[in-house]
């Protein structure tokens, strides 16, 4: 068990460019979450996958954002036409198998995005 990993750890891009982040959950975790954290704030929920199905999306996830989990393992989060307001830490979490409502989310180290 190597924990949740995220790549890249840092991304600097120019406004208007597209970026893609990857999250590898703890193996056999069937639930995967994306959150966004801006300076001075707690993480805010973006989207949730159970296996390959995207079951919930926050209103924060505008049309420029898309997330996938094609085989129910790793996930990608893409931001198109980045804006300076997209600058944030993007966190991925996965939760223990077995389901129920008491599973614990374990977080990756995050990808820090800076949009110039």
Partner 1 sequence: AQSVAQPEDQVNVAEGNPLTVKCTYSVSGNPYLFWYVQYPNRGLQFLLKYITGDNLVKGSYGFEAEFNKSQTSFHLKKPSALVSDSALYFCAVRLRGSTLGRLYFGRGTQLTVWP
Q: Among residues 11, 29, 31, 69, which is the contact residue for partner 1, using CB under 8 A?
A: 31
Q: Among residues 20, 54, 73, 109, which is the contact residue for partner 1, using CB under 8 A?
A: 109
Q: How far is the CB of 49 from partner 1 (least distance, A)?
A: 11
Measure the CA–CA gap between 33 and 112, rounded to whole angstroms: 16
Q: Among residues 88, 91, 113, 115, which is the contact residue for partner 1, using CB under 8 A?
A: 91
C-beta of residue 110 within 8 angstroms of C-beta of residue 89: yes
Contact flag: residue 42 with partner 1 (CB under 8 A): yes
Measure the CA–CA gap between 82 and 55, rounded to whole angstroms: 25
Contact flag: residue 84 with partner 1 (CB under 8 A): no
Q: Tell me how far apart the terminal alpha carbons of the chain are, to the nearest angstrom.
A: 36
Query: Tokens 């390959």, residue?
Result: 52
Contact flag: residue 48 with partner 1 (CB under 8 A): yes
Residue 84 token pair = 């300076």
Is the bond preceding 23 in cis, omega lying within 30 degrees of 0? no
List interacting residues with partner 1 (CB under 8 A).
4, 6, 31, 33, 35, 40-45, 48, 55-56, 58, 91, 93, 95, 99, 101-110, 112
């Amino acid at each position: 068990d190597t924990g949740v990993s995220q790549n890249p750890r840092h991304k600097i891009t120019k406004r208007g460019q597209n970026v893609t982040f990857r999250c590898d959950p703890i193996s056999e975790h069937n639930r995967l979450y994306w959150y966004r954290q801006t300076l001075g704030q707690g993480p805010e929920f973006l989207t949730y996958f159970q296996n390959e199905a995207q079951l919930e999306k926050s209103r924060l996830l505008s049309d420029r954002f898309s997330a996938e989990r094609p085989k129910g393992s790793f996930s990608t989060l893409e931001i198109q036409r980045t804006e300076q307001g997209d600058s944030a830490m993007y966190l991925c979490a996965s939760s223990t198998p077995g389901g129920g409502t008491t599973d614990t989310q374990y977080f990756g180290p995050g990808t820090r995005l800076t949009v110039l």
